[in-house]
Amino acid sequence: MSAHIDGSGERRPTAGILALSMPYQVVAAVALAAAAVLACLHLAMVFLHVAPSNTVTKQHGQAVDDWIYPEFEQNWKLFAPNPLQQNVSVQVRAEVLSDRDGSRRTTGWIDLTAQDVEDIRGNVFPSHTQQNQLRRAIDWYGNAHDEEGRPKGMRGRLSEAYMRRIVLLRIEGAGARADVGGKVERIQLRRTARPVASPHWSTEKRSTESSSRQMPWWDITDADRSRTETSR
């Protein structure tokens, strides 16, 4: 351990990076510099993503989008003239190849949103994932598809892959919240929207009838599974 002589002439141990040997000081300094550069790059990308169209985004907009989507997408609906006025829940069912006897079966509907609500309730500091990941993913999926459910270019296909990855992390294998007991071969999502009732003092008339939309069955590919294993 390194040491230095203080003003009183006593020998005291050196703290922090200076306590390391010179090679380790160099490694630590390089690591800190790389982290600082990465943080500055991320902040710059987020700024360009939310900023009005400009010369940089016109020339390098695709690079900005590739950095932001899907994990870092920004959403400003809280400040919109007409904020969201409905509760959206996402359920999934799956076709599973059983680990026990090799048979195929279809599960019942699993409420993924209810899992998040359970994690958040009573939690003073819920994580960003618990609060927003599923909600933002299904919102992004809807915006990236047309009325017939067809993907709008690359963003639509990317949103589907992102949804498959989120679902697999929650229903298959170690750490899954609702392990279905086998290999997931196909999944189907259902989105249910329930309008929030008007407050008792409001004269606004609003229907509170819920509506549901089922999405097509998606095959689970090896690429989907390899991404979830990496995420774990």
Domain parsing of the chain, residue ranges: 3-68, 77-231
CA-CA-CA-CA torsion sign (55, 59, 60, 65): positive
Average pLDDT over residues 28-37: 91
Report the chain's mean pLDDT, rounded to a whole number. Answer: 82
Q: What is the pLDDT of residues 116-171, one digit of tens each?
A: 999 899 888 888 888 888 988 998 898 888 888 888 888 889 999 999 999 998 99
Q: In terms of C-beta distances under 8 Å and separation of at least 24 residues, what long-range contacts does 184-187 make, across chains too? A: 184/94, 184/95, 184/96, 184/220, 185/94, 185/95, 185/96, 185/97, 185/104, 185/219, 185/220, 186/94, 186/95, 186/217, 186/218, 186/219, 186/220, 187/92, 187/93, 187/94, 187/95, 187/217, 187/218, 187/220
Q: Give the DSSP H or E segment for 67.
A: helix 55-68
Q: How far is Cα of residue 137 from the mean position of the Cα atoms in its chain?
A: 7
pTM of the model: 0.63
User: Given the DSSP bridges, would you call strands 86-98 and 110-111 parallel, antiparallel or unpaired?
Assistant: antiparallel
Q: What is the DSSP letter of 208?
A: -
Please tell me whether residue 196 adopts helix, strand or coil conformation.
coil
Indicate if the pLDDT at residue 57 is higher than 60: yes
Q: What is the pLDDT of residues 179-217, one digit of tens each?
A: 888 899 999 999 998 888 877 887 777 778 888 889 999
Q: Say whether pLDDT at 82 is over 80.
A: no
Q: What is the pLDDT of residue 108?
A: 93
- Is the pLDDT assigned to residue 5 strictly greater than 60? no
